[in-house]
Amino acid sequence: MKNRTKTVAAYAEFPMRKLIVGMMAVAIAAIFLTSFITGANVPLERQAGAKKSMKSDEMAAVPALMSRVQNNPKDEEAFLELAELFSRTENWDKSIFFWTKALELNPDNLGGHYHRAYSLVELQRYEEAIADYEFILKAKPDAYQAHYYLGVINKHGLKKPDVAKKHFQQALAANPKDNELVAEINKELSDMK
Amino acid sequence: MYLAAHGAMLVAMLLSILAAGLACVEAWTGNEKGVPWLERLNMSAFILVTIASGILLQALISRDFSLDYVAQYTDSTLPIFYTITAFWAGQAGSLLFWTLVMSLASVMFLFSDTYQEIAPRTRLYFWMFFLPLQAFFLLLLTGMSNPFVVLANPPVDGKGLNPLLRNIGMVLHPPLLFVGYAGFTIPACLALASTMAGERKSWVEAAHNWNVTSWALLTSGILLGGWWAYMELGWGGYWAWDPVENASLIPWFSATALLHTAMIERRFGALPRTNVFLACLTLLLCIFATYLVRSGVVESLHAFGEGGVGRPLILAISFGVAVSLAVASAMPRAKAASLAVLGSRQGMIVLLVWLLVALAVVVLLGTIWPVISQLWESKPKGVNQGFYNTICLPLFTGMAMLLAVAPWLGWRGGLWKPKVALIPVAAWASVVGVGVGLGIKPMLAVAGVGAAAAVLVSLVLLAIVTPKALRTRAFLSSHGSHMAFALIVLGVAVSGPFQTSREIPLSPGEGFSFGGYDFKYTGLRNEKSIEVSIDEAVIEVSKDGKRLGELTPQRRVYRNYDHPNSEVSTLFSLGEELYATIHDIEGERVQPLKVTINPMVNWVWIGSLGICLLPLLAWRSRRAQGGQTHEE
DSSP B541: E
Q: Region B569-582: what's the mean pLDDT?
A: 93
- Measured CA to CA, the distance from residue A43 to residue B130 in angstroms comes to 29
Q: Do B322 and A66 touch (CB under 8 A)?
A: no
Which of B268, B563, B581, B595 best tests the A interface by mutation, with the highest count of A CBs <10 A? B563
Task: Please state, in angstroms and rounded to a whole number, the distance separating the CA atoms of residues B474 and B469.
Answer: 8
Q: What is the pLDDT of residue B244?
A: 79
Chain B contact for A77, CB < 8 A?
Answer: yes
Cβ pair B152:A76 closer than 8 A: no
Q: Residue B164: pLDDT above 80?
A: no
Residue in chain A nearest B336 by alpha carbon: A7
Looking at beta carbons, which residues of chain A come within 8 Å of B234? 68
Residues of A with CB below 8 A from B194's CB?
11
**Chain A neighbors of B332, CB-CB under 8 A:** 10-11
Instruction: Work out the angle between the directed axes of helices B120-142 and B185-197 (0-180°, nearest 10).
Output: 140
Contacts of B129 in chain A (CB under 8 A): 24
pLDDT at residue A177 tops 80 = no
d(C-alpha B575, C-alpha A52), whole Å: 47
Distance (Å, rounded) from C-alpha B379 to C-alpha B592?
36
Residues 6+ apart with CB under 8 A from B278: B254, B257, B258, B261
Q: How confident is the model at residue B305 (pLDDT cuts 50, 70, 90)?
A: very low
Task: Tell me the pLDDT tens digit for each residue of A100-144.
Answer: 989 999 898 888 999 999 989 888 888 899 999 999 999 888 888
Q: Which residues of B touch A34 (CB under 8 A)?
A: 139, 143, 312
| Interface subset of A 20-39, CB within 8 angstroms of B | 20-25, 27-28, 31-32, 34-35, 38-39
Question: Smallest Cβ distance to A3: which of B129, B269, B319?
Answer: B269
How far B475 CA lies from chain A's nearest CA (Å)? 23
What letter does residue B308 receive in the DSSP assignment? S
CB contact (8 A) between residue B319 and residue A46: no
Residue-level pLDDT at B198 = 80
Percent of chain B with pLDDT over 70: 93
Is the backbone peptide bond immediately before B442 cis, with ω within 30 degrees of 0? yes
Half-sphere exposure of B524 toward its Cβ, with a 13 Å CA cutoff?
A: 21
**pLDDT at residue B138, as a whole number:** 94
Q: Which of B50-54, B183-187, B275-279, B619-623 has the lowest mean pLDDT?
A: B619-623
Angle at Cα B63 formed by Cα B58 and Cα B68, nearest 5°? 95
For residue B132, say if its preceding peptide bond is cis, omega within 30 degrees of 0: no
User: A3 pLDDT exceeds 50?
Assistant: no
Q: Are B232 and B595 in contact (CB under 8 A)?
A: no
* pLDDT higher than threshold 50 for residue B629: no
CA dihedral sign, ordered A154, A155, A161, A165: positive
Q: Which residue of B has its CA nearest to A35?
A: B139
Are A59 and B244 inside 8 Å of each other by CB?
A: yes
- Could you give the angle at the alpha carbon of B617 between the alpha carbons of B614 and B619, nearest 5°? 135
Bridge partners of B599? B576
Interface test with A, best of B65, B199, B233, B504 (most A CBs within 10 A): B233
Q: What is the 3-state secondary structure (H, E, C) of B121-177?
A: HHHHHHHHHHHHHHHHHHHHHHCCCCCCCEECCCCCCCCCCCHHHCCHHHHHHHHHH
Least trusted range by pLDDT, from B180-189, B225-234, B327-336, B417-426 = B327-336
Run of H or E including A91: none
Q: What value does the mean pLDDT take over residues B65-73?
A: 87
> Is residue A10 very low, low, confident or very high in pLDDT (cuts 50, 70, 90)?
very low
User: B305 and A19 in contact by Cβ < 8 A?
Assistant: no
The packing angle between helices B602-613 and B473-495, to 10°, is: 160
Instruction: Calculate how close chain B gets to A159, using CA atoms only, in Å.
Output: 33
* pLDDT score for B249: 93
Q: State the pLDDT confidence band at B202, using cuts at 50, 70 and 90.
A: confident
Residues in chain B closer than 8 A to A43 (CB atoms) = 149
Higher pLDDT, B30 or B333: B30
Strand runs labelled E in B425-499: none
Q: Give me the residue from A28, A61, A77 closest to B135, CB to CB.
A: A28
- From chain B, the residues in CB contact with A9 under 8 A are 198, 335
Average of per-residue pLDDT across A181-193 = 80
Query: By mean pLDDT, which of A188-192, B537-541, B577-581 is the weakest?
Result: A188-192
Tell whether the model's pLDDT for residue B212 goes beyond 50.
yes
**How much is the average pLDDT of A40-67?**
58
Which helix (H) or strand (E) segment holds residue B557: the answer is: strand B554-558
A177 touches chain B (CB under 8 A): no
Residue scoring higher pLDDT (A46 or B49) = B49
Distance CA B261, CA B204 (A): 10
Compute the distance between CA of residue B154 and CA of residue A48 in angstroms, rounded to an integer: 6
Residue A110 contacts B, CB cutoff 8 Å: no
Q: Which helix (H) or strand (E) holds B407?
A: none
Label residue B20 by pLDDT band (50, 70, 90): very high
Contact B630 A44 (CB under 8 A): no
Identify which of A3, A22, A44 has the shortest CB distance to residue B630.
A3
- Contact A145/A113 with Cβ under 8 angstroms? no
B17 SS3 class: helix
Q: How far apart are CA B422 and CA B408, in angstroms?
A: 9
Look at residue B385 and give its three-state secondary structure.
helix
Measured between beta carbons, the chain A residues lying within 8 angstroms of B504 are none
What pLDDT is attached to residue B295? Answer: 64
> How far B305 CA sits from the closest chain A CA (Å)?
5
Query: Percentage of residues in chain A with pLDDT exceeding 90?
Result: 19
Q: What pLDDT score was predicted for residue B553?
A: 93
Query: Rg for chain A (alpha carbons), in Å?
Result: 28
Cut 0.90: pTM above it: no
- Are the beta carbons of A39 and B584 separated by less than 8 Å? no
How far is the C-alpha of B403 from the C-alpha of B388, rounded, in Å? 22
Residue B334 has a pLDDT of: 53
Which residue of chain B has the CA closest to A80?
Answer: B563
Backbone angles phi, psi at B124, to 5 degrees: -60, -50
In whole angstroms, what is the distance from residue B476 CA to residue B372 CA?
43
- Between positions 114 and 153 of A, the ones with CB within 8 A of B are none
Residue range A140-167: mean pLDDT, rounded:
89
Higher pLDDT, B479 or B381: B479
pLDDT on residue B291: 82
Which of A67, A91, A115 to mutate: most B Cβ within 10 Å?
A: A67
Closest residue in chain B to residue A57, using alpha carbons only:
B89
Return the half-sphere exposure (C-beta side, CA atoms, 13 A cut-off) of residue B559. 15
Cα torsion B438, B442, B445, B447: sign = positive
Please indicate whether, in this complex, the C-beta atoms of A75 and B148 are within 8 angstroms of each other: no
Evaluate whether ipTM surpasses 0.90: no
Which member of B68, B93, B199 has the closest CB to residue A46?
Answer: B68
Per-residue pLDDT for B152 more than 80? no
Beta carbons within 8 Å of B198's beta carbon, 6+ residues apart:
A8, A9, A10, A11, A12, A13, A14, B121
Q: Do B332 and A80 touch (CB under 8 A)?
A: no
DSSP A153: I
pLDDT at residue B375 greater than cutoff 60: yes
Nearest to B171 by CA among B77, B97, B247, B256: B97
Rg of chain B in Å (alpha carbons): 26
pLDDT value at residue A58: 59
- Which DSSP string corresponds to B168-211? HHHHHHHHHHHHHHHHTHHHHHHHHHHHHHT-SS-HHHHTHHHH
Which has the higher per-residue pLDDT, B236 or B269? B269
Q: Contact B142/A38, CB-based, under 8 Å?
A: yes
3-state secondary structure of B410: coil
Smallest Cβ distance to A55: which of B90, B243, B322? B90
d(CA B540, CA B599): 20
Distance between CA atoms of residues B299 and B311, nearest Å: 15
CA nearest to A75 within chain B = B583
In DSSP terms, B539 is beta-bridged to B521, B551
Mean pLDDT of chain B: 87
B302 near A66, Cβ under 8 Å? yes
pLDDT at site B482: 93
DSSP state of B74: -
Mutate to test the interface with B, among A17, A21, A56 (most CBs of B within 10 A): A56
Is B462:B432 a contact under the CB 8 Å cutoff? no
CB contact under 8 Å between B132 and A51, yes or no, is no
**Taking phi first (over 0 means left), then psi (-120 to 50 degrees means alpha), and beta for anything else, what does residue A24 get?**
alpha
Residue A157 has pLDDT above 60, yes or no: yes
Between CA B368 and CA B363 the distance in angstroms is: 9
Picking from A6, A17, A46, the nearest residue to B152 by CB comes out as A46
pLDDT grade for B627, boundaries at 50, 70 and 90: very low
Q: Which residue of A has its CA nearest to B245?
A: A63
Q: Which residues of B114-149 are buried (b: 16+ CB within 10 A; e: fewer)?
A: bbeebbebbbbbbbbbbbbbbbbbbbbbbbbbbbbb
d(CA B472, CA A146): 74
Rounded-to-integer distance, Cα A39 and Cα A29, Å: 15
